[in-house]
Structure 1
């Protein structure tokens, strides 16, 4: 990377120094990489992408996970690293910095020009197109959470950047956003809680040209699932661990090469790194009501043996609790982006649809409903950004994440429902994307894991 794009510690939200490079200066690098890549010409990123029909839904048979790559155990010679928290001057300011705005601009273009045109076909096929995944890799999304010392492009905590990226991608399609962000969730988890050996072994793969398919798996197929009461277990045996259980909503599970698996160890939730191809590891399709383009699957663990070095983080549940919070924060960002997409689409529709000689937006019942949607989207965004800003600065953000999740769960579903209602009969058919966005928004309150900021 050119020195022009190397990050330097600088202002964040509440810090706001414009004289030093913001930790999200990698936005410039992302724009540069995207502009120089032949991927733009290959997939027509700057013009409307053509819709394509993708492979049919995977069958429901359980099969062994694909034998993944062999991760270099020797790793790099560079020592492990933790991303430092940004400082704070105490000023309450959630305005994105110039570099963050640049990052959002390039990701928004990606979402608008590439994700949205293929979203319907991807939803039907339950898989993300290769072009979308390649474009996300070209922009550098998998490396958002990798420390610069290990080949990444960040030196400070980037929860705010991840939140902005997730929101922008979800305006294109939530399912495709989840599919593109899933590998970065694993890289972020290893960057935050991994040992030096784990970072040296796995993180270099997320900064190269061939990023592994990876999934953060917390959810389980149980009624009223509680992430702090896991049915999946890990027991100590022979200097390592043996994992048993079933995980659901595993993003691109059929193709994944690396999993971060949540399991109960000695009564306390913990995280484990499990490579694909391990004995006792099987995967089956698990298509859902929403976020179908993420290619969700179930992961069956039957006596899966991993070494002691597979434990990610601590055994007291500290890293696990933080993982759950940051995952919920990411889902809030996805809800904000999808909610904004619904609002933008509905505004154009009610202004263009006429009844009795005038636009239906002239009806107070319609106008008030759209106004309520706009208010709710702004409220969701404010709470989500505030939680992300506190996480970026290393401050306690448990309360803010809980508030954001409650609001995004309740209002997100309401926005989707109102969007369908305002389109009338058109809201019920697949000719318009609002019915898909409604299905996606219902996932916010039930999904755990999969994405991380």
Structure 2
């Protein structure tokens, strides 16, 4: 698969392709080649893995490091990013406006994201996946590429892979055996990582949803908010404060099968991410078995989950901000006022330059934090820096893009108003995505 994708990638990069007017067919070939490659590898892995019975959890190896500070994507990472970017341009971008208006993602678009094999890349071969190495940087690149098409659709499509990634990272052998094979298949279940709660100044490290210990397991009481496609989800990973008799409850993650939990749902449309169909979920004395606790309730695992989710949101913000910049530059060059393009005005040119500068800072900070996470190094500080940059500068980029388009920035004829709304999510959303 690697050799085939490498050949396609080199072919798509030839200058001759542009001269012959074959750029779009070449990009489609790269995208379909990557998709079919992952399908084939996944089928092979399923055939071999069917006879395996694990006695311990399967984990992916950590990414290797040369010891040099180099964030240049490898050739394989570049190929995967290009395949995701091609899908984002061809499919997500064209479906974004209608999905935003409808408040729901088209099923064929979600199926297309699943066919990219993003979840399978993070699942070990023992569970029918194609993963061999843990690569947070690769996931960041893919999140960024999909958000370039549309953040709301990307969130709706990536939410299930957050659950499978959490199971790979922290699930025990029984939890992995029960759920992971389904996520590696062609029809992955709808799932979500539910962390947000409907309260002001929400602190994800102090969830208000409570998990009380009982003789049979746990009982959950509380509310989660902004959960994508919650009413369709088969499996949720829920953040809760575990009350096990200790002086202070500690945050933990729980696996909740929606079918038997009798959850209550309510639509919760937000300012942005309309295509993700965000919902509120109420847990009223929901009983869970003791096996539902993920990662043994280790607070360190919970903190890592929050940080990895924040890196996912940083990547989504970078991709959306890049889309805004790429839309603004041709607009200000083509928009004529008082006999010349508005880009000739210093105030306009400087505003565009500021967007580009801040975007590069967001991207490099996110990549650096992901690189440290991938190598097993402490990435708390790097993630905090990336989160602050992407939250603050992402919102500013969205606002500046609307300003630069003037009246056109206010109407839905141009996508910048949608990107402005979506970019604000990077500052308030927790969980949902995981790299």
Q: TM-score, normalised by structure 2?
A: 0.88
Q: 1:288 maps to which residue?
A: 270
Residue 229 (structure 2) pairs with residue 247 (structure 1):
no
Q: Judge conservation of contact 1:252–1:297 (CA < 8 Å) in 2.
A: yes
- The answer to whether structure 1 residue 128 and structure 2 residue 105 are counterparts is yes
Q: Distance in 2 between matches of 1:338 and 1:92?
A: 26
Equivalent in the alignment of 2:35: 34
Is 1:355 matched up with 2:337? yes
Q: Map 1:292-303 to 2 at 5 A.
A: 292-303=274-285
Mapped to 2, the partners of 1:221 and 1:75 lie a distance apart of 45
Deviations 1:417-438 (A, max 9, x none): 0000000000000110000000
Name the stretch that deviates more: 365-374 or 131-140: 131-140
> In the alignment, does 2:162 pair up with 1:185?
yes
Change (3 A) 1:381 1:351: same
> Structure 1 residues 75, 447: CA separation in 2 closer, same or farther (over 3 Å shift)?
farther
Per-residue CA distance 1:119-160 (angstroms, 9 max, x = gap): 011011111111111111111122232123322111111211
The alpha-carbon distance between structure 1 residues 110 and 418, as it changes in their structure 2 partners (threshold 3 A), is: same
Whole-angstrom CA distance in 1 between matches of 2:167 and 2:344? 53
Q: Spell out the pairing of 1:366-405 with structure 2 (5 A cutoff).
A: 366-405=348-387
CA spacing shift, 1:210–1:29, aligned 2, 3 Å:
farther
Residue aligning to 1:106? 83
Contact 2:60/2:133 (8 A) holds in 1:
yes
- Does residue 426 in structure 1 map to residue 408 in structure 2? yes
- 1:33 Cα deviation after fit: 5.3
* 1:323 maps to which of 305, 314, 318: 305
Whether contact under 8 Å (2:100, 2:274) holds in the other structure is yes
Residues 189 and 29 (structure 1), Cα distance of their counterparts in 2 relative to 1, 3 Å cut: farther
Does residue 438 (structure 1) correspond to residue 420 (structure 2)? The answer is yes
Tell whether the 8 Å contact from 1:144 to 1:158 is kept in structure 2 after alignment: no
Check whether the contact 1:361–1:367 (CA below 8 A) recurs between aligned residues. Answer: yes
Would the alpha carbon gap of residues 196 and 30 (structure 1) be closer, same or farther in structure 2, given more than 3 Å must change? farther
Moved over 4 A (4+): 2-5, 28-31, 35-38
**Structure with greater proportional helix content:** 2
The reply on whether 1:77 has 2:53 as its aligned counterpart is: yes
> What's the offset of the Cα at 1:77?
2.1
Q: Does the Cα contact within 8 Å between 1:133 and 1:180 map onto a contact in 2?
A: yes
Alignment partners' CA distance in 2, 1:448 and 1:165 = 19
CA distance in 1, matches of 2:251, 2:95: 38
> 1:162 and 1:136 mapped to 2: Cα distance?
13
Bigger mean CA deviation after superposition, 165-174 or 278-287: 278-287
Distance 1:75 1:278 in 2: 30
Shift of 1:442: 0.5
CA distance in 2, matches of 1:154, 1:34: 15
Cα distance between partner residues in 2 of 1:76 and 1:250: 35
Unmatched 5+ stretches in structure 2: 5-28, 40-49, 244-248
Aligned counterparts of 1:3 and 1:117: Cα–Cα separation in 2: 30
SS in 1 for 2:140: helix
SS in 1 for 2:306: helix
Q: Which residue of 2 aligns with 1:51?
A: none
Question: Which residue number corresponds to residue 317 of structure 2?
Answer: 335
Q: Which residue of 1 aligns with 2:251?
A: 269
Within 2, Cα distance between the matches of 1:32 and 1:366? 41
Indicate conservation of the 8 Å contact 2:196/2:429, yes or no: yes
* Residue segments in structure 1 that go unaligned for 5+ positions in a row: 6-27, 39-73
The 3-state SS of whatever aligns with 1:300 is: strand
Q: Any idea what the Cα deviations from partners look like across 1:38-80, whole Å, max 9, x if unmatched?
A: 9xxxxxxxxxxxxxxxxxxxxxxxxxxxxxxxxxxx9962443
Mapping of residues 180-219 of structure 1, within 5 Å: 180-219=157-196
Is this contact kept in 1: 2:52–2:126, CA < 8 A?
Answer: no
Once residues 393 and 33 of structure 1 are traced to their aligned partners in structure 2, the CA distance between those partners, rounded to angstroms, is 26
> In structure 2, do the counterparts of structure 1 residues 221 and 213 end up closer, same or farther at CA, with 3 Å as the change threshold?
same
Which residue, 188, 205, 208 being the options, matches 1:231? Answer: 208
TM-score, normalising length from structure 1?
0.84
Find the aligned partners of 1:89 and 1:361 in 2 and give their Cα distance.
43
RMSD: 2.1
Q: Is the 8 A contact 1:76 1:201 kept in 2?
A: no
How far residue 29 of structure 1 moved from its aligned partner, in angstroms, is 11
Q: Is the 8 A contact 1:243 1:305 kept in 2?
A: yes
Decide whether the 8 Å contact of 1:75 with 1:201 is kept in 2: no
Q: How many residues align?
A: 396
